[in-house]
Amino acid sequence: MSKKKLQTPDLSYLNLSENIAVKYQLSPMELVDEALLNKEGILASSGALAVDTGKFTGRSPKDRFIVCDQITADAVWWGDINIKFSPEKFDLLFTKITSYLADKKIYVRDASACANPDYAIAIRVITETAYQNLFANNLFIRPEIDTLGAQPEWTVIAAPGFLADPLLDGTRQENFSIINFTRKMIIIGGTGYTGEIKKGIFSVLNFILPMYENTLSMHCSANVGKNGDTAIFFGLSGTGKTTLSADPERGLIGDDEHGWGKTSVFNFEGGCYAKCVDLTQEKEPQIYNAIKFGALLENVNFFPGTTDVDYANTEKTENTRVAYPIEYIDNAIVPSIASVPKNIFFLTADAFGVLPPIAKLTVEQAMFHFMSGYTAKVAGTETGITEPQLTFSACFGKAFLPLHPSKYAQLLGEKMKENKVNVWLVNTGWTGGAYGVGKRMKLSYTRAMITAALNGGLDHHHYKQHHVFKLMIPLHCPNVPDEILDPSKTWDNEEEYFIKAYELADAFAENFKQFEAPKVLKTHEEELKLC
């Protein structure tokens, strides 16, 4: 590794001083040493670097903005998810954050996103802390040495110690994450939570790939079988997405972010950012074994007097995380690219207990359920509160969608038809009654249904249509009792079942009205004035 190739890149386009102390493209070992020297964290007994991210232990969606300009004014789905920010305010804040970094030691990393080179974008991540740079090393794709140093397409600047002045800077609070598509920059301040870096680039790809490449960007996990058959798993938190896609018999393409191009499915990332709450070697051996030197643990607690992580301890947050390179998973596919999918699974944990455990969707139904992004979360532990809470997140990732959900659903429908893909709705939630009465679907049954869908065990004509949801339910599935497949037959009172089923169907219809509301058209000039 020659020093010439690893010379500090030209940072003049960021107005950073030539005399600034730059730590460029450090190895994981060097970054861990820096983090320990800076007192950013400690080494856990597993060898992983453990840090606390400070005040923020998760993303702050209300403080995430997109600059409204010629590129975005008419294209972005503006609202409570995508909040407008003026170009002038961005420029002022950019000057402030770079001035803040001017007399500090900074960490600079060149990386890329998208495992398929036809869609790849070069990224430079500039961080105030070493642990954030280790995160960038683990989560983005690590480039060849010969490609380093060139000016990147996108730049991310993350400075947890820089606080905005909401009155002067136009932010809501002192923390912020702002995407500028014209300047191709993301600036993040006031928060040490590394997920803002990851999801910032994800939001960028969710804009440019569907808009300019006719490529579907997806918040999903993906794996591939020994015969080259790709499967995609969509699902919100608690639906079993990570568990069900982690199959020792299939190679892991990725756990969170993917693109579906003309001829392939490809991972956007070069690593995984897994939840750690209640993690055990028995339940999640792949994730557990990936927590070793080079991995980054966030906001975990230790058993008293030790550096052994207590994964059941959520005193700091339930959103404890670990970031590691995808190579830390034994059956990972590298480079993370495979053929177009043969099967897609929409995972939902239905606490009403009324959705079938597996159903096959038509193209139109798939687009509807994709835009709905339904699951149900069980209410908190307060006395007497047992009713499930409905959750709808468009395209199973509403928080990261700069475009209207119909754009992504349209692309899904087109690709389904073109590639004759099977789409399955899988209920990993309750059966035999709603939460509090029924029981959670056995994981062994869910695994058997997914296995059957993957290996052709459900390629028969023995289906019936659900009376309420109009979904096609298989009458038989290998290794699953027939009576489990029809949810109405698992309830003691069939009339109560249908009352609850219609209640959920009405909630679907009500939620979908947001996509059907007529849009008040404005001229391009009027849109820009609103910015």
Q: What DSSP string runs through 454-523?
A: HHTTT-SS-EEE-TTT--EEES-BTTB-HHHHSGGGGSS-HHHHHHHHHHHHHHHHHHHHHHHSPP----
CB 219 within 8 A of CB 210: no
Of 219, 250, 342, 500, the catalytic one is 219
Q: What is the pLDDT of residue 381?
A: 29
Q: Can you tell me the distance from the alpha carbon of 156 to that of 145, in angstroms, rounded to the nearest whole number? A: 20
Q: Is position 256 annotated as part of the catalytic site?
A: yes
Q: What is the mean pLDDT of the chain?
A: 92
Q: Is position 321 annotated as part of the catalytic site?
A: yes
| Mean pLDDT, range 150-155, rounded to an integer | 92
Of 8, 60, 237, 488, the catalytic one is 237
Q: What is the pLDDT of residue 523?
A: 52
Q: Is position 404 annotated as part of the catalytic site?
A: no
Q: Is position 199 annotated as part of the catalytic site?
A: yes
Q: What is the pLDDT of residue 470?
A: 97
Q: Work out the burial of residue 128: count CB atoms within 10 Å of its CB; fewer than 13 is exposed, 13-18 middle, 19 or more buried.
A: buried
pLDDT at 505 over 90: yes
Q: What is the pLDDT of residue 517?
A: 61
Give one word for 190, left, alpha or beta, with left for phi > 0 and alpha for psi -120 to 50. Answer: left
Buried b (16+ CB within 10 A) or exposed e, 49-68: bbbbbeebbbbbeebbbbbb
Of 69, 110, 247, 256, the catalytic one is 256
Of 242, 264, 431, 490, the catalytic one is 242
Q: Is position 59 annotated as part of the catalytic site?
A: yes
Q: How confident is the model at residue 1 (pLDDT cuts 50, 70, 90)?
A: very low
Q: What is the pLDDT of residue 383?
A: 36
Handedness of CA 475, 479, 485, 490 (dihedral sign): positive
Pairing of strands 265-267, 388-392: unpaired
Element containing residue 289 per DSSP (H, E):
helix 285-290
Among the residue ranges 50-54, 189-193, 376-380, 507-511, the one predicted with the least confidence is: 376-380
pLDDT at 379 over 90: no
Among the residue ranges 12-26, 80-94, 178-192, 430-444, the one predicted with the least confidence is: 12-26
Of 241, 342, 360, 398, the catalytic one is 241
Helix-, strand-, coil-residue percentages of the chain, each rounded to 5: 30, 25, 45
Which among 295, 224, 297 is positioned nearest to 266, based on CA atoms? 224
Neighbours of 83 (CB within 10 A): 17
pLDDT at 118 over 90: yes
Q: Is position 242 annotated as part of the catalytic site?
A: yes
Beta bridge partners of 71: none
Which among 111, 133, 103 is positioned nearest to 34, based on CA atoms? 133
DSSP label of 194: T
Percent of the chain with pLDDT over 90: 85
Buried b (16+ CB within 10 A) or exposed e, 446-476: bbbbbbbbbeebbeeeeeeebebbebbbbee
pLDDT at 3 over 50: no
Of 124, 258, 321, 407, the catalytic one is 321
Q: Can you tell me the distance from the alpha carbon of 147 to that of 93, in angstroms, rounded to the nearest whole number? A: 30
Which among 229, 228, 224 is positioned nearest to 247, based on CA atoms? 224
Q: How confident is the model at residue 496 (pLDDT cuts 50, 70, 90)?
A: very high
Among the residue ranges 46-60, 247-261, 381-395, 507-521, the one predicted with the least confidence is: 381-395
Of 84, 96, 199, 342, the catalytic one is 199
Q: Could you report the per-residue pLDDT of 247-298, keeping only the tens digit for each?
A: 889 999 999 999 999 999 999 999 999 999 999 999 889 899 999 999 999 9
Q: Is position 258 annotated as part of the catalytic site?
A: no
Element containing residue 197 per DSSP (H, E):
helix 195-212
Q: How confident is the model at residue 8 (pLDDT cuts 50, 70, 90)?
A: confident
514 CB-near residues (< 8 Å, 6+ apart)? none
- Across the beta sheet with 21-24, the strand order is 21-24, 105-113, 121-127, 154-159, 185-189, 176-180, 64-67, 83-85
Q: What is the pLDDT of residue 145?
A: 76
Q: Could you report the per-residue pLDDT of 398-437, keeping only the tens digit for each?
A: 999 999 999 999 999 999 999 999 999 999 999 999 998 9
CB 314 within 8 A of CB 320: yes
Q: Can you tell me the distance from the alpha carbon of 369 to that of 125, in angstroms, rounded to the nearest whole number? A: 36
Q: Work out the burial of residue 141: count CB atoms within 10 Å of its CB; fewer than 13 is exposed, 13-18 middle, 19 or more buried.
A: buried
Element containing residue 251 per DSSP (H, E):
strand 251-254
- Across the beta sheet with 337-338, the strand order is 216-219, 257-260, 265-267, 337-338
Of 46, 53, 57, 59, the catalytic one is 59
Q: Is position 241 annotated as part of the catalytic site?
A: yes
Q: What is the pLDDT of residue 528?
A: 54
Alpha-carbon distances, residue 293 vs 255, 296, 327, 344 (angstroms):
20, 8, 13, 34
Which among 141, 98, 100, 140 is positioned nearest to 11, based on CA atoms? 98
Q: What is the pLDDT of residue 2?
A: 38
